[in-house]
């Protein structure tokens, strides 16, 4: 797959670690010029070093995606400087864990601002560019929490559900213009956040992983493979889907026993 994306330009939000970083690295490895944005300058610098050390082309931008004007301006700027914008990955995320009785409206609004509002702003800006140039591809990173209910995660889950349905709506508008828009739906992924959780609550983490049909969380690289596929020409007739990449979790009907017959 090396060189499959030569000459193409991509933007990845929340690209300094986890799924975003793995995706930026994979896109660069396959020949794309990748603009990575995130809030933490030090992590961005490390991401740039890693991507360039592997021979990729990368630029970094310190940005909070809830600065909507700056987000739209960044997308316009990247496209103007490179003469095109072929791919956008909306990966930045926010989550708050709390029961409804303790969930503040500010927490609710923050999760929606990052997980839904910023995706709308970025997709709208990118679509305008892609329609004019005759095509492009966008992948939004949703969550299994957006298609299945979980306790203590109402704001995150509701915002991811909004993102998933927005993806389908945007795909309908982009389809006749050659702009494909899809979502991936990760389950548990082995990121710095889940590793910290495993250190704090190893028994709960083990039970969570065991409840996944494949018996483990996903690796960021496995999610990146799915994203890069949906961005690639190999997915040229795929738009409007929400693809679970979760070890079978979304398909699972949980049973508290295993009957062998």
Series of mean pLDDT values for 10-residue runs along the chain (261 residues)? 87 97 98 98 97 97 98 98 98 95 97 98 98 98 95 96 98 98 95 81 86 93 98 98 96 72 57
Q: How far apart are CA 135 and CA 174, in angstroms?
A: 9
Return the pLDDT at 153.
Answer: 95
Ordered alpha helix ranges (H), 83-219: 105-112, 118-133, 154-174, 192-200, 202-210
Of the residues 156, 237, 257, 259, which is catalytic? 156
CATH topology of domain 9-246: Rossmann fold (3.40.50)
- The reply to whether 257 belongs to the active site is no
State residue 164 phi and psi, 5-degree precision.
-60, -45
């Amino acid at each position: 797959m090396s060189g499959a994306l030569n000459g193409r330009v991509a933007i990845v939000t929340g690209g300094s670690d986890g799924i975003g970083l793995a995706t930026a690295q994979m896109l660069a490895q396959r020949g794309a010029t990748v603009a990575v944005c995130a809030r933490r300058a030090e992590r961005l610098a490390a991401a740039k070093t890693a991507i360039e050390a592997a021979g990729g082309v990368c630029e970094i931008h310190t940005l909070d995606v809830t600065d909507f004007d700056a987000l739209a301006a960044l997308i316009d700027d990247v496209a103007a400087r490179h003469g095109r914008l072929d791919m956008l990955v909306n990966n930045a995320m926010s989550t708050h864990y709390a029961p409804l009785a303790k969930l503040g409206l500010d927490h609710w609004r923050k999760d929606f601002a990052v997980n839904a509002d910023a995706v709308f702003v970025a997709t709208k800006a990118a679509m305008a560019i892609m329609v004019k140039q005759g095509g492009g591809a966008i992948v939004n990173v949703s969550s299994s929490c957006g298609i299945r209910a979980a306790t203590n995660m109402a704001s995150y889950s509701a915002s991811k559900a909004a993102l998933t349905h927005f993806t389908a709506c945007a795909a309908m508008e982009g389809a006749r213009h050659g702009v494909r828009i899809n979502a991936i739906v990760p389950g548990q992924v082995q990121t710095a956040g889940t590793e910290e959780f495993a250190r704090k609550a190893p028994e709960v983490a083990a039970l969570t992983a065991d409840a996944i049909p494949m018996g483990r969380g996903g690796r960021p690289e496995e999610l990146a493979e799915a994203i890069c596929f949906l961005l690639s020409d190999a997915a040229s007739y795929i738009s409007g889907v929400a693809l679970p990449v979760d070890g079978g979790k979304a398909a699972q009907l949980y049973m508290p026993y295993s009957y062998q017959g």
